[in-house]
Structure 1
């Protein structure tokens, strides 16, 4: 089943086109990873699909409707996004930040209801951040802050969650902690997860579907076997890879690689 897809999407800034005639289907209730080199259009695609930026031509369809025509609060009840560099949280407590996720459900008075507080506590519980509820966000570690941002996205109660490089600046343990949390949300609550990842082996391990981009176009989209292979990675990253098997998941993994020289 597919609820969300793009059709011949073109996105750019000024006269420079970043995403070009891109048509992609996002599998429902699955984890999708978007990979590609820096500047290939990964973040631009995410921003366009969540209506943070406008697109020039083409369409983005969610539940049979073009998202450009959707009411902002209605759209915010369907999809949430965790950007690559979240805005400053100076002075906010964890509970206050997570409460922002309830904005789509608030009346014109802007007051939190009993249901809002219940959802906030649930989101904190699920992300194991409830003990930090009254602590300043700035006082937390990088991994703790990332889980709090995910809690805010969960408080939106959306079926689809977009994350732009959720493991950036985190050490290996905290990267794994965040990715395992997202996988748990997908498996236990059937959330559709769409995330940009730089680590190919993390993409292979955690994603059900991978979209490989180069210069704003799709080189290959499919399961791990389709994308994490010598030919695709050569085309996308200009690297010569040795592909093995993850002994724990039996999924393909990049064992080592060399940078290709020239046009070879």
Structure 2
């Protein structure tokens, strides 16, 4: 079953078209990764699917309905997004930040209920951040802060989570920490994860489905065997890639590459 898909989706800013008539199905309860060069429309696509920005034409369908016609709070109960550069959490404790994920469920004056506090504590436990509950967000390391932002997304209790470059600015250990957490959420709680990644080997290692974009169009969409392939990477990144096997996962990995000379 496919809950989420786009049909002929075009997205642009003023007269500049970024994404062009894109149709794609997002596998349910899987990890989907979007790869592609800078400026190809990866972040723009995520923002349009989650209705942060509007699209010029086409449709985004979730559970059989057009998301442009969906009630905002109802939509926020179905999908959560962690943007590339989350807004500042200056002055907030970890618990306060995570509580913002309960906004779609609040009524009246927005007071938190016992159920809200239960979900907040659960999200903190799952992400390994409960010990930081009363600590200022600004006092945490980069990896810890990223896990807290993920906890906020989890507090929304959505089945679909979007993340725009969740490993940006993190060192190798913290990158792996975040990706393994997302993999655990997918495997143990069947969350559908959709994320933008720059690292091809991380995409191959953690994704069930990869979408390779270039100039706002899909070059290839499929599993890692289909996408992490020399011919596809040549089209997408204009590189001559040497593909081998990850000795721990047996998945394809980019061992090395050269830039191809000539016009792209």
TM-score, normalised relative to structure 1 = 0.99
Distance (Å, rounded) in 2 between the aligned partners of 1:263 and 1:69? 43
- 1:17 counterpart residue number: 17
- 2:204 counterpart residue number: 204
Q: CA RMSD in A?
A: 0.6
Q: CA deviation at 1:108?
A: 1.6
| Residue-by-residue CA offset, 1:108-144 (whole Å, 9 max, x unaligned) | 2200000000000000000000000000000000000
Distance (Å, rounded) in 1 between the aligned partners of 2:2 and 2:211? 15
- 2:118 counterpart residue number: 118
SS at match of 1:263: coil
Matches within 5 A, 1:1-264: 1-263=1-263
Distance (Å, rounded) in 1 between the aligned partners of 2:25 and 2:108? 36
Distance (Å, rounded) in 2 between the aligned partners of 1:220 and 1:164? 20
Distance (Å, rounded) in 1 between the aligned partners of 2:92 and 2:156? 18
Q: CA deviation at 1:162?
A: 0.0
SS at match of 2:135: coil
**Aligned structure 1 segments of 4 or more residues deviating by more than 3 angstroms:** none
Distance (Å, rounded) in 2 between the aligned partners of 1:125 and 1:189? 14
Q: Report the number of matched residues.
A: 264
Distance (Å, rounded) in 1 between the aligned partners of 2:207 and 2:74? 28
| Residue-by-residue CA offset, 1:48-70 (whole Å, 9 max, x unaligned) | 00000000000000000000000
Distance (Å, rounded) in 2 between the aligned partners of 1:149 and 1:89? 10
Gaps of 5+ in 1: none
Q: CA deviation at 1:263?
A: 3.3
